[in-house]
């Protein structure tokens, strides 16, 4: 590849550029794997913006042919969303089909990028356990998944290496996403604040609730800033496109 890779920053570490394997580790699980056995290993914490980053980095590197999803489910089921995406794809609104995750919209991707991702890589589901209590305490220490989970991962890595089909035949696909203006932790808190705010709109008096259909006013696409005319507030969001989908979903529009 001539362009720098990975395309997007994130919580990951790089291994061998000759490896066909990418790993998405859920939450705070910590697996031990020599770097020659993976191309990129990163954490996944959201069922929307986090998956968009994974897809952007995978389709821009044809050498990656396997994506192993491992760890235990946390938060709002990002592992379930990623596995469902591989199996079912997205609908016309770019919502992942058949997932239990909350707000599984890939609003800043194109259908072509999703189709390329699903064609390029085999997604391997090693998520265990698959249920979540719906909460993440960022102060909690990383957890050791245990010897059996570690061995399961190593066995699947070995299988992928044995069955490596070689680089994907298509050219690298460059995906442009909004420039990240927040750390992943801050991004998650910002989205939670907006979900809470939009949910509160639904609890207002009926006459006031009618105003929730008012259009947001874009202030800056570069800095992802808009004005909500309902509350009269200026806010910065991680993604304008995703915020629009989230607002429509939560307000029933």
Which residues partner with 226 through β-bridges?
218, 235
Taking the alpha carbons at both ends of the chain, their separation in whole angstroms is 43
The rounded distance, in Å, linking the Cα atoms of 49 and 39 is 21
pLDDT tens track, the chain, 253 positions: 566 788 877 789 999 999 999 999 997 888 999 999 999 999 998 899 899 999 999 999 999 999 999 999 987 899 999 999 999 999 999 999 999 998 899 989 999 999 999 999 999 999 998 887 665 555 666 778 899 999 999 999 999 999 999 999 989 999 988 765 445 555 555 555 655 555 555 445 444 444 444 555 444 444 454 445 555 454 556 566 666 666 666 555 5
Half-sphere exposure (Cβ direction) of 103: Cα atoms closer than 13 Å: 25
DSSP one-letter code for 37: G
**Which candidate, 75, 202, 80, 58, places its Cα nearest to that of 132?**
75
């Amino acid at each position: 590849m001539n362009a720098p890779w990975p395309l997007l920053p994130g919580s990951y570490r790089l291994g061998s550029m000759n490896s066909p394997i990418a790993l998405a580790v859920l939450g705070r699980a910590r697996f031990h794997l020599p770097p020659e056995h993976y191309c990129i290993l990163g954490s996944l914490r959201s069922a929307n913006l986090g998956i968009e980053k994974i897809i952007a980095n995978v389709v821009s590197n044809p050498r990656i042919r396997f994506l192993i999803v491992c760890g235990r489910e946390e938060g709002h089921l990002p592992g379930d969303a990623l596995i469902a995406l591989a199996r079912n794809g997205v609908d016309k609104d770019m919502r992942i089909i058949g997932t239990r995750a909350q707000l599984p919209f890939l609003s800043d991707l194109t259908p072509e990028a999703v189709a390329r991702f699903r064609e390029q890589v085999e997604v391997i589901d090693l998520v265990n356990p698959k249920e979540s209590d719906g909460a993440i305490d960022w102060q909690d220490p990383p957890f050791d998944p245990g010897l059996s989970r570690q061995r399961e991962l190593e066995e699947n890595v070995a299988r992928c290496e044995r069955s490596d089909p070689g680089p994907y035949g298509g050219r690298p696909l460059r995906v442009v996403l909004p420039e990240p203006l927040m750390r992943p932790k801050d991004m998650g808190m910002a989205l939670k604040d907006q979900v809470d705010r939009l949910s509160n709109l639904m609890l207002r008096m009926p006459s006031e609730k009618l105003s929730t259909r008012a259009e947001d006013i874009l202030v800056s696409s570069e800095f992802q800033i808009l004005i909500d005319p309902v509350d009269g507030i200026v806010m910065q969001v991680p993604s304008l496109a995703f915020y629009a989908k989230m607002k429509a979903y939560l307000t029933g529009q």
